[in-house]
């Protein structure tokens, strides 16, 4: 296996409301900006990987044409299953490491107009009869993420004695970081009182527990460590990577209602890594809902299961200047829902020291976690080339 690095990142504009933008335009802007950042052209790229839910993102071959790439020796449109947007980068890592391609573009494009990936419907469709009791499950909304996350939060409160403030620290932290992120859609600070008084969606899930649907795209260039060394940016090496499903993988009737596959994913990640949880300088963890973020902190062994409330120390651990900064771009709660890949691109910018007023001093190692339930994925990235 060859050593792999991220050598470029790029974004489109991130907007909310107004005239729906073209997903094709957003994806091409982000990809072109990533290529410009890396110092590569279409002639240098021979792989493309993208994650989508179907209508929210253009296919790889469309982006190939728009970027002037003469031929793809490997490409993949990953749809519906996988660790959210990080899935594209994970696929590219495997392709480059194995020698299937030399330089790959990965991207995630998403819009508010893309249905259930970026907005909500007033009334869910009526349950249809089906096998395995699914029609009965749908009656209680267990396939809908908002009521499902509310129930997961209640389970954490029952099992571990969690308080609402535990989730509130994630929401408040997001705005502290987004205040210094020019890309972020939400930059106004919020307090714990704002969090607790925000609209209840599915008790105890509040509005500020949920990410923000936006129009936008982000992209990264992934290549060999040898190629990255000749490019103008500081290489950020992918030290280790892991998937996780857990046993009996399912969103509503799996074996682990709180963690899904994140614990198994974390265990595999550290087994493969040249680092330990104590080496992590910053965390970029999926925050489609605050429940998911807390699960990742514990699954990645930053603290014990059920110990997040003590570990977060009133928010001081994860806030700017904290011991382990979390979601330094504001995450999906504040920068906007770019569906996970932006957690990788932000980590790269942090490790390159290019984040201006929100820069984490001397950051060298970042842990990234994406998705939840039966679709967990994680990476350790670092400016240090050591490791497998």
Residue 140 has pLDDT above 70, yes or no: no
| Average pLDDT score over residue span 96-116 | 91
On whether residue 326 sits in a domain, the answer given is yes
Q: Are residues 89 and 203 in the same domain?
A: no
90-103: string of b/e by CB count within 10 Å (b at 16+)? bbbbebbbeeebbb
Q: For residue range 318-338, what is the model confidence (pLDDT) as tens digits?
A: 999 999 999 999 999 999 999
Statement to judge: residues 244 and 368 lie in one domain: yes
The residues, any chain, with a CB within 8 Å of residue 107's CB and separated by 6 or more, are 27, 30, 31, 34, 48, 50, 57, 63, 88, 217, 218, 219, 220, 341
pLDDT of residue 372: 94
Q: Are residues 100 and 171 in the same domain?
A: no
C-alpha 92/C-alpha 7 separation (Å) is: 13
Using the structure block, give the residue that is written with the tokens 């990264």.
220
Q: Does 260 share its domain with 386?
A: yes
126 domain residue, yes or no: no
What is the number of domains present in the chain?
Answer: 2
Where is the domain boundary, 233, 262, 292? 233
Q: What is the pLDDT of residue 122?
A: 43
User: Which is more confidently placed, 81 or 141?
Assistant: 81
Domain identity same for 64 and 149: no
Residues 6 or more apart in contact with residue 85 via CB below 8 angstroms: 51, 108, 218, 338, 339, 340, 341, 342, 370
Q: Are residues 86 and 31 in the same domain?
A: yes
Model confidence, pTM:
0.93
323 & 200 share domain: yes
Q: Are residues 218 and 206 in the same domain?
A: no
Instruction: Examine the domain organization and report whether 82 and 183 are in the same domain.
Output: no
pLDDT of residue 54: 73
Residue 120 has pLDDT above 90, yes or no: no
Tell whether 134 is covered by a domain.
no
User: How far apart are the two ends of the chain, measured CA to CA in Å?
Assistant: 8
**Domain assignment present for 137:** no
pLDDT in tens, 26-41: 999 999 999 999 999 9
pLDDT in tens, 348-375: 999 999 999 999 999 999 999 999 999 9
Domain containing residue 276: CATH number: 3.40.47.10
Query: Do the Cβ atoms of 70 and 45 come closer than 8 Å?
Result: no
Based on the fold, state whether residues 228 and 355 are members of the same structural domain: no
Under the banding of pLDDT at 50, 70 and 90, the label for residue 174 is very high
Q: Would residue 3 count as lying in a domain?
A: yes
Residue 311 lies in a domain: yes
**Does residue 228 register a pLDDT over 80?**
yes
Do 160 and 105 sit in the same domain of this protein?
no
Residue 199 DSSP class:
P
Which residue in this structure is represented by tokens 């409301």? Answer: 17
- Read off the pLDDT band of 63 (50, 70, 90): very high
Q: What pLDDT shows up at residue 117?
A: 53
Whether 14 maps to a domain, the answer reads yes
Domain span at 378: 143-212+239-388
Say whether pLDDT at 135 is over 80: no
């Amino acid at each position: 296996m060859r050593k792999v690095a991220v050598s470029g990142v790029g974004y489109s504009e991130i907007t909310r409301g107004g005239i729906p933008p073209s997903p094709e335009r957003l994806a091409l802007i982000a990809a072109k900006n990533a290529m410009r950042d890396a110092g590569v052209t279409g002639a240098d790229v021979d792989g493309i990987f993208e994650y989508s839910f179907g209508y929210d993102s253009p296919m790889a071959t469309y982006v190939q044409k728009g970027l002037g790439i003469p031929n793809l020796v490997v490409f993949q449109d990953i749809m519906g299953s996988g660790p959210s947007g990080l899935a594209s980068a994970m696929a590219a890592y495997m392709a480059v490491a194995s020698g299937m391609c030399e330089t790959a573009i990965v991207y995630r494009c998403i819009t508010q107009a893309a249905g259930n990936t970026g907005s909500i419907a007033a009334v869910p469709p009526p349950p249809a009869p089906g096998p395995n009791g699914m029609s009965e499950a749908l009656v209680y909304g267990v396939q809908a993420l908002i009521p499902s996350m509310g129930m997961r939060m209640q389970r954490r409160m029952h099992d571990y004695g969690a308080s609402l403030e535990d989730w509130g620290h994630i929401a408040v932290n997001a705005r502290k970081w987004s205040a210094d992120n020019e890309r972020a859609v939400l930059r106004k600070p919020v307090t714990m009182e704002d969090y607790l008084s925000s609209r209840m969606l599915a008790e105890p899930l509040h509005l500020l527990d949920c990410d923000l649907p936006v129009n936008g795209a982000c992209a990264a260039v992934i290549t060999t460590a040898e190629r990255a060394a000749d490019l103008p940016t500081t290489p950020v090496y992918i030290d280790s990577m892991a998937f996780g499903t857990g046993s009996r993988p399912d969103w509503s009737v799996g074996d682990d209602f709180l963690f899904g596959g994140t614990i198994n994913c974390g265990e595999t990640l550290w087994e493969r890594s040249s680092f330990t949880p104590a080496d992590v300088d910053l965390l970029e963890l999926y925050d489609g809902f605050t429940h998911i973020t807390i699960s990742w902190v514990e699954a990645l062994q930053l603290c014990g299961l059920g110990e997040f409330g003590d570990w977060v120390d009133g928010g001081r651990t994860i806030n700017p200047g904290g011991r382990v900064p979390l979601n330094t771009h504001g995450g999906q709660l504040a920068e906007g829902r770019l569906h996970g890949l932006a957690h990788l691109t932000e980590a790269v910018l942090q490790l390159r020291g290019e984040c201006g007023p929100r820069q984490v001093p001397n950051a060298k190692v970042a842990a990234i976690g994406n998705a939840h339930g039966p679709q967990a994925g994680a990476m350790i990235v670092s400016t240090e080339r050591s490791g497998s």
